[in-house]
Amino acid sequence: MSKLESLESNYSKVAQDWNTPITHSGQWFKDSYGRTLLMRGINVCGSSKLPTSPYSGSTHLYDDVLFWDHRKVSFVGRPFPLEEAEEHFSRLRAWGLTLIRILVPWESIEHTGPGTYDEQFIDYLRSLIELMPKYGLKCVIDPHQDTWSRFSGGSGAPGWTFEVAGLNIKHFKETGAAYVHNTNAVPGDPLPMVWPTNYTKLAACTMFTLFFAGDTFAPNRKYEGKSIQQFLNDSFVNAYQHLARRLVDLEAVLGFEFINEPHPGYIGLEQLKEFDPIVNLIFGDSPSPLQSFALGEGIPQTVGVYIKSWPFPTKKSHDRIINQSKTSVWLNDNSCIWKEHGVWKLDQDEKPVLLDSAYFSKHPITGKKISFYDDFYVPLVNRYAKAIQSVKRDWYCLVEPLANERAPVYKENDHHHNIVFSPHWYDLNCVFYKKFNGKITHDVQCLQRGGNVLNATYFGQKGAKKNYRGQIKNIKEDGLRDMGNKPCILGEVGIPMDLNDKLAFTDNDYAKHVNFLDAVIYALETNLINFTLWNYDVCNDHEYGDHWNGENFSIYSVKKAKEDYLDHDDGNSKLSKKHLYDGGRVLEAVLRPYASKVAGTPIESEFDLQNIKYTFSFIPFTKEQQTQLKQENYNLIDNTACTTEVFVPYFHFGGKALNIQVNEGECEYDEEKQTLYHTYNRDTMPDNTVITLQLGILNNEQPSTSCIVM
């Protein structure tokens, strides 16, 4: 009997299962045996940003009555109907993507009105999460938002939040306060990248400013006896604390995120004459902050219209006049909230002029320079994390920086307990242009941090890997430096599937997609980082993508799933091994080996897709580390504590003769469980020994497996 067969306890038996309490020690997540965890997963899903009723919420659809009835919606069935959960969870487990970032927009739980929660949706969510342990899944609750709300062109907050601020959502289109695909889109619009421009428009900028800093910058406006900021903050925190109480007994819940891709609105802008094109997407109709204020007040403005260009992302094409109807965006005859607070006025010629262009860069009373992170963001995160952890202290709270910016700096008095750094990363250049040919990539992060184009340009597939690896390395180091020695889960990363003019949808050649995503995941795995890909969407199709604002990122397509099933229909269930890959896109890059539970400290992880070869190295825990782990109550007595588990995807390795080499210890491979086990004798292992495991495919065709000790 081998040491592996004589294990006293092996909670998972399958590498990618997480049916264990998950804790952490420093920057590493741990299981109950003190093993280091490297988790991979997926966002579920993009269309969860939209309601399922009273009509399908896809952003290419519009109903003049139902769209505006934001209080009587339902998200039951997002991300998918309960009766389909077994199929999707089985598929994700088979794919090794078992950490689920599940989208739960604020609107989904509190759309009816402040303090009234959608218990039917929460019941559905409970039923969905209750199924997860059967498939070894853990999940993080993501209060997802994009540009504040569906009604300001994104997702997230309920429609009534605009009423709190005094904004009329039906007038956003005419006043240019938001670009909403349901109401604004016309044939020929470059849909996928218009929505982020709402971060420079009146509706989203105003709401974010009020949410984070309304007490500072708009103290004169009240709602039901409270300041707007406190009313919004109380509603948001209370809603997710209520959800936490409803989910507290579910073992699959790892924690709650604070808010997806937060934005400062106007907070911190040094001047209000124009937006900085280096940090903002200037595309389509692009009013300046002052022009936005005037448009909202019913004053027509001639604004610049920008189109895609090169080498700069966009350039001005022409001007056009907005709001010739002189419509006001403010409810109940109110005037602009920023005019009311002395930011701007009308001169004697009835032209808008700024009174204080630096209004949002300093405290209006003291004149002290403000910091979005220090003065507004982190204090609210502290409050939120404490509220969630008052329900269950063991839960994690995931915190992310502003999109494409460095992490917030955590100070001694901030709330540190079970805080996880959770940034996002995309190749913004490729995402914006929807192009990837593998010949040239650019380091947008380098350019944003002041680098030059020459140093930010990389050539070929190797160059792309080097480019992305360096960017992820910087992000990880930023988090450790600024937030402290905390774990990291990269919450969003992925590629558009409609690259290169959607050519792959017609010729079915996804080679460039595979190379693109291979370079991206290579950067993640070599940096030993936990991540959740964007995304798995059961609504995805070629025409409307993920059914939200023209995006098409899903690694699963229901259209392809039906085609795949019919292509090799053998009468078996959709849950059979063959059919679990139905609908998958770019699986060559997605499904790759990874050491998920490591009996030591990981130091190297790399999958060579071209040669189907995986290399992993780690250092078993030293005597000093073992002592510390015992003090932290990890179970090091069980032999499982010396067992490393590696997910070996059947997609690449199933039915093939494997070549497994390791310099110390012994291995055992279970193809059915897609798991390679490695164990060593702790008592005879010298400190700081590096154990290297290599996994590949033998050239011969005989399906046998050899484990060679090097």
- Residue positions annotated with a catalytic role: 261, 492
Find out whether 636 and 7 touch, Cβ atoms under 8 Å. Answer: no
- What separation in angstroms does the CA of 320 have from each of 183, 190, 201, 298, 306? 19, 18, 16, 16, 11
User: Residue 538 — φ and ψ, nearest 5°?
Assistant: -75, -5
Distance CA 330, CA 166 (A): 6
Asked whether the bond before 79 is cis by omega within 30 degrees of 0, the reply is yes
Place of tokens 């590096």: 690
Alpha helix ranges (H) inside 131-171: 160-165
Name the DSSP class of 702: S
Cross-strand partners of 256: 141, 397
Partners of 617 in beta bridges: 604, 692
Closest CA to 250 of 132, 389, 385: 132
Sheet containing 489-490, strands listed edge to edge, beginning at the edge strand earlier in sequence = 419-421, 396-399, 253-257, 138-142, 99-103, 40-44, 530-533, 489-490
Q: How many other CB atoms sit within 10 Å of the CB of residue 132?
A: 24
Whether omega for the bond prior to residue 539 falls within 30 degrees of 0, making it cis, is no
Q: How many residues does the chain have?
A: 710
Residue 294 is encoded by which pair of tokens?
């005037």
Distances 460 to 156, 432, 470, 511, 519 between C-alpha atoms, Å: 39, 20, 15, 14, 11
Contact 540, 585 (CB under 8 A): no
228-247 helix and 202-217 helix, angle to the nearest 10 degrees: 100
Instruction: Tokens 């774990």: give the residue.
Output: 487
Of 279, 59, 301, 65, nearest in space to 189 by CA? 59
Sheet holding 301-308, edge to edge: 284-285, 301-308, 314-322
